[in-house]
Amino acid sequence: MMNVKKDDLVAITSGKDKNKQGRIIDILPKKGKVMIQGLVMVKRHTKARKQGEVSAIKEKECYIDISNVMPVCKACNKPSRVNFIVTADENKARVCNRCKEIF
């Protein structure tokens, strides 16, 4: 089980977007990368390929290493580490390390 999932609110802990928060829109678990909505933007120069198409510089989200993000707890509203517990119905659940609230 991973510390973060799709649609989780996370805070970036390093890089040019440090201390900013956003939702996860894509995860690559084998590579250990996540894509966050509206953050870690890169510019791509696109060339016109067909007649009538326009060349442009487009901005899009880029993948960031999963070690550079921390999930934000819904209860205490702070970035926190995650622990795992086994619930009464034998399911694994993520728990905030600060306030012990289940994610």
**Spatial distance between the Cα atoms of 26 and 5, rounded to a whole number of angstroms:** 9
Q: Which two tokens stand for residue 70?
A: 């921390």
Question: What's the confidence (pLDDT) of residue 100?
Answer: 87
Q: What percent of the chain has pLDDT over 70?
A: 99
**Spatial distance between the Cα atoms of 51 and 93, rounded to a whole number of angstroms:** 54
Question: What's the confidence (pLDDT) of residue 19?
Answer: 92
For residue range 42-82, what is the model confidence (pLDDT) as tens digits? 999 999 999 999 999 999 999 999 999 999 998 988 999 99
Contact 32, 67 (CB under 8 A): yes
